Amino acid sequence: KRVAILISGGGSNMMSLAESMTGDHPARPCLVLSNVPSAGGLQKAADMGIPTAVVDHKPFKGDRAAFDAALIAAIDDARPDIICLAGFMRILTPEFIDHYAGRMLNIHPSLLPKYKGLHTHQRAIDAADTEAGCSVHEVTAELDGGPILAQARVPILPSDTADTLAARVLPKEHLIYPETLRRFMEGDRSFRVY
């Protein structure tokens, strides 16, 4: 099976996914694509010998449909079976999501359904939550709203800032995303807490 991974930044989740797809794993990364030409994850992917591509959203100036069409063309060139969004910071059109219906996953740094959208860690701290975490979900037209496949929980400490909390959550992302991708590929759509 072929997995395309979409990033916008450093790509630490992309790295943990790519590093998991070795040996007897039924998948291999076939593409790492970013909407940001300078994304650090592109070099990391290239260093691992993974084909990369850039579809810069800036020239499309808000023409979301045209950007998504260019994105689909670049992705489908790599003939992926599954798409993993990993720190991909673009809201996708329903047409894009329909094109990959049932075979696209995302990792989100909150205990969904809480804190969809951005600034999740600061919002959890501001709400005086005692726990935070991350979720892997199937991507549907509702932003951060698809069926949840996995979650990991961490404590929020009184001294936490968004940065210290993010640093506690990120390793959990690197744990649950590869395991959930493998389960997903084996047809396991159950919800699991790690």
Q: Which residues bind ligand GRF (CB under 6 A)?
A: 7, 9-14, 86-87, 107, 109, 166, 170, 173
Count the Cβ atoms, other than its own, within 10 Å of residue 184.
Answer: 19
Residue 11 among known ligand-binding residues: yes
Residue 90 among known ligand-binding residues: yes
Residue 89 among known ligand-binding residues: yes
Question: Could you give the count of Cα atoms lying within 13 Å of 176 in the half-sphere of its Cβ?
Answer: 28
For ligand GRF, give the closer residue by CB, 24 or 43.
43
* CB 121 to ligand GRF: min, Å: 8
* CB 187 to ligand GRF: min, Å: 25
Helices 162-185 + 12-20 axis angle, to 10: 30
- Active-site residue list: 108
Helices 12-20 + 40-47 axis angle, to 10: 20
DSSP 44-75: HHHHTT--EEE--SGGGTT-HHHHHHHHHHHH
For ligand GRF, give the closer residue by CB, 68 or 173.
173
**Residues annotated in the binding site, as ranges?**
11-13, 64, 89-92, 106
**Residues annotated in the binding site for (6R)-10-formyltetrahydrofolate, as ranges?**
64, 89-92, 106
